[in-house]
Amino acid sequence: MTTKRRVLFLCTGNSARSQMAEGLVNHFLGDRWQAFSAGTAPAGYVHPLAIEAMRELGIDISQHRSKRVDEFREASFDLV
């Protein structure tokens, strides 16, 4: 069993681009990578247009939530 590499996508609001990046990596590279996303000042929601854009690609991020980077303080990642 191979351990998945871990990546954290950071931004300010964690409502669009970083959420989309997390969804894309988990969807297309999920056999080798585990992606997470967070922001320094989370918006408190995932932007509806980000959800819709990903839905058009067949990727559901509607259950994602905007997260603060502090939630990952103790976590380790291969890439940030």
Beta-bridged to residue 36, according to DSSP, are: 8
Stretch 38-45: mean pLDDT? 98
Determine, yes or no, domain membership for 80. Answer: no
Stretch 44-53: mean pLDDT? 99
**In which residue are the tokens 């992606």 written?**
35
Q: Could you list the residue range(s) of the whole structural domain that residue 54 is in?
A: 5-72
Stretch 51-74: mean pLDDT? 98
Stretch 22-51: mean pLDDT? 99
Q: Which amino acid is at 54?
A: M
Determine, yes or no, domain membership for 56. Answer: yes
Q: What is the CATH number of the domain that holds 32?
A: 3.40.50.2300
| Number of separate domains in the chain | 1
Determine, yes or no, domain membership for 32. Answer: yes
Q: Give the predicted TM-score (pTM) of the model.
A: 0.94
pLDDT band, residue 1 (cuts 50/70/90) = low
What tokens appear for 26 in the block?
């988990």
**60 contacts: CB under 8 Å, gap ≥ 6:** 23, 54
- Helices 48-56, 17-28: axis angle to 10 degrees equals 30
Chain Cα centroid distance, residue 59:
12
For residue 56, the model assigns a pLDDT of 99
